Amino acid sequence: MSRSPGTDSMSRLFWAVLNTILFTILVPGTVAIVIPRWLMGGHARPANDPWTWLGALLFLCGAAIYFRCAWEFAVRGLGTPGPSRRLIFW
């Protein structure tokens, strides 16, 4: 049984996206969410604190940049945002 030419590339793309999602949950998710909550003892700052809003804004900007980069790694580079053998250009 022969496989169509596009099947192998779709399979590689699927696994690259899946690996990037798992990497994102484990590495940046741990550093940006789990560890800070652990350090604060599970307590959050009041929502009316201006520093909370500034921190949320910076977090969202950084997350947007990270997700864009992770997408490029998965789709163009077919890999995760870890050590790679290929250099990805925009």
The model's pLDDT over 40-69, given as tens digits with 9 standing for 90+, comes to 777 766 778 788 888 889 989 998 998 888
Helices and strands counted in the chain (H then E): 3, 0
Sequence ranges of the domains in the chain: 5-75
Question: Structure pTM?
Answer: 0.61
Matching residue, tokens 């909550």 = 37
Asked if the model's pLDDT at residue 5 lies above 70, the reply is: no
Sign of the C-alpha dihedral computed for residues 77, 78, 80 and 86 taken in this order = negative
Residue 57 confidence (pLDDT): 92
